[in-house]
Structure 1
């Protein structure tokens, strides 16, 4: 194994978020409210299978053990199952996850698992079908719920469900969500709304801190779970009376970035140090031949030497990210 990817703050990077498309078929208010529009009005080519393989191979050589395949909506790629299989086949990769809106899960989640998918996150922003439609722009609630049931049926031990907290929209649904996970192996993850370049008004009107939920959980006997080496930033709570778990992702909380262990590569082959960074570094020219692996690793590590200690969201600076779909959330 080459030297472990690390930065100047002694953070080690075990986790790669790899976007394979920025196309999405949902129109979520906090991400793509007007639907997907190609950058500069034209579709550009996304990473090919061999480029994905070389990317993951380089990261695996430097200590990465978990890869999350993201989008946009990654399952829109016709070769999505092949992507899973390719990622899972890389030596050193022990966790292959994806984040999906869930609309194709019922039909395809069994083949994804067979191909090597070990973990799955599904976006569900409301358990009220009408509110689900209002937030996502799609009347797909029943299909998504059926997909979650199917994932558990085919052998996933747990499904993680991502819910973006939106004041005055889904913020009153905590009791409904808690009832839902009481008997189901679901880790429900409440994610604070994050400011990006195209949604200042939405953020101002609907941002809600996760602190009130955390206080409610602690007051009702929920306990903080220990964090694993390749886990994401969620604070996870467990309760003896619940099969499910609750995770809180609160990027505005002090010291949020101290435990950063993940890097991002966009669907067009750019390395991003942070979801809210000011630039991406092109890797694609080094993804064309196997012989370029050492040079690729060196370019990634050089950028890590310049990685900032944290984001600048508290200063109102959200970086260059126009919306979460653009580099995989």
Structure 2
């Protein structure tokens, strides 16, 4: 039973754990100028990760998503998966990746205990993929998705940031692509951060526009499960795949929040937006600090706000999405 419950009676059984803020892509909405290290600190070690996840698990956390930056850039990524998977109480381990190393390594990730995988892929057109990500690697990412199915993943989730005048016109192409494939295609609204105001103004499109199109085409919304992420998921009897919509500007988006974030430097973030975080790293050096760690987590959760208030124009302290794992 979860002990991580906030003042609005939301239960937090889902941890998004960043293990690096390094990324080798240059996505226009995240790191358009590429990654530049802004700190001298080392990322969380395997021991620190183990102690952190154990603390969360003892408070009722059941699902951990390993994120970045690009998490597979860590040489010990397989060890991280195994460590999280072998933590008592953790029922599901997932990751989000840009797909750069999937074709070569996804079978090893599966063998290490990875249960679910999300791939960021913003276009099915090679030129548009290159324009958005800064890398001409669509064929390589697509091969990685095929490799994931071959490795035994029954479903692959694909994250697509939908942007007008860039890739929004590809909706029908994406739908045709998932018709014979068990892919949950998740359209994510472009979110405004501290450094992308002009991009947001030029390219933001509301997920509600896509939702209306889907409903008109016979798509039906599925019931949300307790440890699901923020997507509203739709299915169609003619399709093997599904559509997920992540709409952070929707008025009640935060009502079902069930996840907390820890950055690659060991700071707890109660929200992707809005606050500077709570230091945890001093309690991660040994398992003997587990009780103090859990107490600090519960105390911090008391300050979680009802909403990120993005719809009121608040941006919070998030400079870019790679900084705390998106």
TM-score category, normalised to shorter length: over 0.9
CA offset at residue 315 of structure 1? 2.3
Give the whole-Å Cα distance in 2 for the aligned partners of 1:103 and 1:273.
29
Stretches of structure 2 that go unaligned for 5 or more consecutive residues are none
Distance (whole Å) between structure 2 residues aligned to residue 153 and residue 280 of structure 1: 39
> Which position in structure 2 is the counterpart of 1:211?
208
The residue number in structure 2 matching 1:261 is 258
| Aligned Cα root-mean-square deviation (Å) | 0.8
Contact 2:251 2:311 in 1 (8 A): no
Partner of 2:197: 200
Report whether the alignment pairs 1:240 with 2:264: no
Equivalent of 1:188, from 185, 190, 209? Answer: 185
Note the C-alpha offset of 1:277.
1.9
Matches within 5 A, 1:306-321: 306-321=303-318
| Inter-partner Cα distance in structure 2 for 1:43 and 1:317 | 29
- 1:30 corresponds in structure 2 to 29
Decide whether the 8 Å contact of 2:184 with 2:242 is kept in 1.
Answer: yes
1:20-169 alignment to 2 at 5 Å?
A: 20-39=19-38, 42-169=39-166
Count of aligned positions: 326
Tell me the residue number matched to 1:7. 6
Q: How far, CA to CA, are the matches of 1:44 and 1:284 in structure 2? A: 11
User: 5+ unaligned residues in a row in structure 1: which ranges?
Assistant: none
CA positional deviation for 1:312? 1.9
Q: Structure 1: how far apart are the matches of 2:51 and 2:252?
A: 33
Alpha-carbon distance in 1 for matches of 2:3, 2:275: 25
Partner SS state of residue 234, structure 2: strand
Match of 1:296 among 293, 305, 308: 293
Deviation at 1:300, TM superposition (A): 0.6
Q: How far is 1:313 from its partner? A: 1.0
Aligned pairs (5 A) from 1:167-182: 167-182=164-179
Structure 1-normalised TM-score?
Answer: 0.98
What is the distance in 2 between the residues matched to 1:246 and 1:159?
Answer: 12
**Cα pair 2:5 2:11 within 8 Å, conserved:** yes
Offset of residue 316 of structure 1: 1.7
Runs of 4+ with >2 A deviation:
none
- Using structure 2 for the length normalisation, give the TM-score: 0.99
SS at match of 1:258: helix
SS of the equivalent of 2:282 reads helix
SS at match of 1:111: helix
After superposition, what is the alpha-carbon deviation per residue over 1:104-141, rounded to whole angstroms, capped at 9, x for unaligned? 00000000000000000000100000000000000110
Tell me how far apart the structure 2 counterparts of residues 115 and 250 of structure 1 sit (CA, whole Å): 33
CA distance in 1, matches of 2:324, 2:209: 29
CA distance in 2, matches of 1:32, 1:116: 30
Q: Does 1:282 align with 2:288?
A: no
